[in-house]
Amino acid sequence: MRKTLLALCAVLGFGSAAAQNAGSKENPLSVDQFLEQGIPAEAVPDTYVKGYIVGYYDTTGSSNEAKFTADGCNNATNILLGGSSTEEDVAYCIPVQLPKGDERTALNLVDNPQNFRHEVILCGSHEKYFSANGLKNVSWHQWVGEAPSASTGAAVEGLNETFANIPESWTNVKVSGDKAFYATKFGDVTYAAMTGYKGTEPPFEAWLISPAVDMDKAAEKVLSFRTQVNGYGSTTTVFEAYVLDSTDPVTATKTKLEATFAVAPESGYSQWAESGNIDLSAYKGKVYVGFRYYASEDANYATWCVTDVKLNPSAIEVPETKTYSVAEIIALGPDAKVANQKVKGYIVGYVDGQKYAEGAVFGASGENVSATNLILADAAGETDSSKCIPVQLPSGDVRTALNLKDNPGNLGREATLTGNIEKYFGVPGFKGVTAYELGAEVTPPAEPTAYEKAYTVEAGKTYAIVTGTKAATVIPAEKQFGYLNVVDVAEGDSFSSTEKIGFTFEDAGDKTFHIKGVDGRYYYMKGTYNSFNVADQVSDVPEEGFTWTVDFSADGVKIVNVLMAKTLQYDEKYNSYGIYPEITHALPTLYVEKGAGVADIETTDAPAEYFNLQGVRVANPENGIFIMRKGGKAVKVIR
């Protein structure tokens, strides 16, 4: 409907670029006007467009993913521009390329999370970008209204932060180097961490700065936190805490705080160290608490961790952690946002593309199996996307362990995830996963094998041995002898089963057979017992012990062991099959595996032979159902 109205306006001349001279600096295009023009055949330079910065494309996975947040942004090379500050449908957004230089420095969400949801006018080249209607090579920008700053937003009355993620209200600043703070978890502890390890642009100076705290409203003006460090005994890496008067660490007035910090051990991580109570009663008005990490080019690049940052914590309501069902998260609605919670459900699929309902794929196969998300449901076999939630998989151990592209065996597994309840793909979702627990691996259900009643036996074919509804099963792998247990199958001329009931009759010469179970083991007899023996191969036991004759009779099929002259029968009392010297129990019926049994008659000069359904040869078949055998093949015929 939205696109139809835009097209209608264009036809009538209302709001079109030509009628309004839109696209100039004085009259920039709206996002809708920009998109309505489509991707130009040739790039259109110096195009001006006005919209809101609503997210960015994450390019770290196997496919690009639109993210409508500044929280945890990991790509400084692009942003998404929407027509409203709350737009979360990528089809109505413009992907914007930020070339290296001043525009990237000012606009990207990695270094400027405060830009999120702010309106801006951009000038660049209108052309294809991310295979969509995009703006590239941005050369100029102008904020609409007051320029956003890291200090934008209402002051809070306290802090009580454990860093299940890096909150949008906290400012993550890279003063120098290409590394920033990130949220992670070890055991039950979540924390923010920073290291120069694997960085490529030292020296590294990064700051993690709290939202403004209104000290005039803080009843408890005492700051505390915990730190941990891994290192090499002596390290030149610096970690410090400050009070600042703004979120720009370069220009702000800063006061370094005296606190107790962890001490780097010779190897591995230190214990968590309590900072002690830091008196901030001298401060009034709005202040910021900042943590500074610095490592010079020749530093050992230790990793510093911080958590449990508290200042007047009673003023901050921390949601109690509970385990939600998928249905409970859906009931909260798309605007719910609850940090550090758990959800328990079953992995049932993934989202292919940018739209949830249209892109929901139930299964672990397809051309574009996503490594960056999955779909969770309350039931393992759910295929209704409205009863499921999309789950974002952040890069790292969580994505490596959970994604269906690399772990198709996770399909159907129960998973308990720790993260944040919040909108994802425009619907109730789960993001920022920091921990997971996977249930037992799911064994895919076996494909059923179809059988139909057999009237002759043919070497090389596989048969089920059935009496009434009782089909014989193979002897368990851990046993070398025993009776044949049974499973129930449907009564009639055919049935299907997933059980191990197949026995292959191999040619042993002179109209005899070797019988091999579907597990590859051979059945034979020795001694005086009425049970079977099993072996991996026909070996030292006398050949007759492994050979069997098969004859069809009016009472059933006689399967006789040559060595012991005993006949396979079903014992109703013990509900099993054994081999008995006299026919005192029920004889079975054979059912051949479909596709492996009766085949079409081939053209041959061999004479046709006919048998009745009891296996007796008939010279002149008429007025009935018979089996015709010709050239080694057999079919059922009606005369």
Q: What is the pLDDT of residues 282-301, one digit of tens each?
A: 999 889 999 999 998 776 78
Question: Tokens representing 310?
Answer: 């508290």
**Mean pLDDT of all residues belonging to the chain:** 86
- Tens of pLDDT, residues 9-46: 444 444 443 444 678 999 999 999 999 999 999 999 99
In this prediction, residue 251 carries a pLDDT of 84
* pLDDT score recorded for residue 389: 97
Q: Is 101 left (phi over 0), alpha (psi -120 to 50) or beta?
A: left
**Residue 13's pLDDT is what?**
42
pLDDT on residue 7? 45
Domains in the chain (CATH in brackets) are: 2-143 (2.40.50), 159-315 (2.60.120.200), 323-438 (2.40.50.200), 449-593 (2.80.10.50), 609-638 (no CATH)
Q: What pTM did the predictor assign?
A: 0.44
Under the banding of pLDDT at 50, 70 and 90, the label for residue 590 is: very high
pLDDT digit string, tens, across residues 313-351? 988 776 777 899 999 999 999 888 888 899 999 999 999
Q: What is the pLDDT of residues 406-422, one digit of tens each?
A: 999 899 999 999 988 99
Q: How confident is the model at residue 248 (pLDDT cuts 50, 70, 90)?
A: confident
Please, which pLDDT band fits residue 599 given cuts at 50, 70 and 90?
Answer: very low
Whole-number pLDDT of residue 594: 86
- Is the pLDDT score of 623 beyond 50? yes
pLDDT at 597: 36
Contact 430, 391 (CB under 8 A): yes
61 within 8 A of 372, measured Cβ to Cβ: yes
Q: Tokens 């990528």 — which residue?
A: 90
Instruction: Give the CA dihedral 386, 389, 392, 396, nearest 10 degrees.
Output: -130
AA identity, residue 124: G
Quick one: which H or E segment has residue 487?
Answer: strand 486-488
Give the pLDDT score at 128: 95
pLDDT above 70 coverage of the chain, percent: 86
Contact present, 526 and 559 (Cβ < 8 Å): no
- What pLDDT score does 74 carry? 83
Q: What is the DSSP string of 511-557?
A: TEEEEEETTS-EEE--SS-SSEEEESSS-SS-HHHH-EEEEEETTEE
Instruction: For residues 365-381, give the mean pLDDT.
Output: 91
* Straight-line distance from the first to the last Cα atom of the chain, in angstroms, rounded to the nearest whole number: 67
Q: Is the pLDDT of residue 261 over 70?
A: yes
Instruction: Report the range out of 3-17, 105-119, 536-550 with the highest average pLDDT.
Output: 105-119
In the predicted model, is pLDDT for residue 449 greater than 70?
yes
Model pLDDT, residue 634: 57
Q: Answer yes or no: is pLDDT of 225 > 90.
A: yes
- pLDDT, tens digit, 9 for 90 and up, residues 424-448: 998 999 998 888 999 988 766 667 8
